Amino acid sequence: MSVDDYLHRKADSGKAHLTLIDPDEQSPSTAGAMARQAERAGTDGIMIGGSTAEDQEVVHRTVEAVKDACDLPAILFPGGVQGLSDRADAIFYISLLNSSDPYFITGAHAASAHRIRELGLEVIPVGYIVVEPGQTVGRLGKANLIPQEDPGLASSYALAAQFMGMRYVYLEAGSGASHHVPEDMISRTKESISIPLIVGGGIRTVDDAERVAGSGADILVQGTVLEEDGEASRNLARVIEKLRLSGGA
């Protein structure tokens, strides 16, 4: 089964959860331990990457450590053309639709396309939309941030992504954001599209997860909670349990 099919089935049967690991934030061995911890807590896959993850060797060793530590799909979430590894199962081929720089919409994709094919990676096209506050990804990606009070703009970008053939829409508040994407923006976006909706950034607590999932997100992404919370495994398990209940799975 492809990773794309796997994620669609997870989203169709309830709410799915992905754990994001940034290769720049810890050693590969620690990343592997985090992936094992997340698998035990019930996450559905491991995303590997970040806004500044450009050292290909570090990315590759992190992917290897994750693959050795758990049986979950390893999905690249590249911050640039160097964030690739042939050990990964798939790559989120992200187009930052509200960037002011064409490089982040199609330029990086053209620069990496042949390399991705050589590596044999499964490519999963994703329409990426960065919402206030945006954090590092908003700044580095030169995003014209979607204002929190403008859910209609987010939904328009999302529907455009679907029309362009992308397999997922990803609303991103930014890693480490103080608050997640607003509930009305999530619900309005979900109502506008028929493809799965991913939401990430600022989802720290069980209550956050419940609000985001209840507003219509099909897949939640968390990363900072693992890096910061000393009770990470228990907290992550509680979040995922709440997702399963809200998704009816």
pLDDT in tens, 169-221: 999 998 888 899 999 999 999 999 999 999 999 998 889 999 999 999 999 99
Q: What is the pLDDT, as a whole number, of residue 75?
A: 98
Distance in angstroms (rounded) separating the CA atoms of residues 120 and 244: 33
CB 236 within 8 A of CB 225: yes
Q: Is the pLDDT of residue 226 over 70?
A: no
> Tens digit of pLDDT for each residue in 114-167?
999 999 999 999 999 999 999 999 999 999 999 999 999 999 999 999 999 999
Alpha-carbon distances, residue 136 vs 1, 14, 42, 132, 174 (angstroms): 34, 31, 28, 11, 7
Q: What is the pLDDT, as a whole number, of residue 234?
A: 77
Mean pLDDT, the chain, rounded, equals 91
CATH label of the domain that carries residue 237: 3.20.20.390
What residues are paired with 122 via a beta bridge?
90
Provide, rounded to the nearest whole percent, the portion of the chain with pLDDT above 70.
Answer: 92
Q: Residue 249: which pLDDT band, with cuts at 50, 70 and 90?
A: very low
Q: Is the pLDDT of residue 19 over 80?
A: yes
Question: Considering only 48-52, 64-68, 89-93, which range has the smallest mean pLDDT?
Answer: 48-52
Q: Which domain holds residue 152?
A: 3-247
Mark 131-150 as b/e (b = at least 16 C-beta within 10 Å): bbbbbebbebbebebbebeb
Q: Is the pLDDT of residue 245 over 80?
A: no
The number of domains in the chain is 1
Q: What is the pLDDT, as a whole number, of residue 229?
A: 54
At residue 105, the 3 state secondary structure works out as: coil
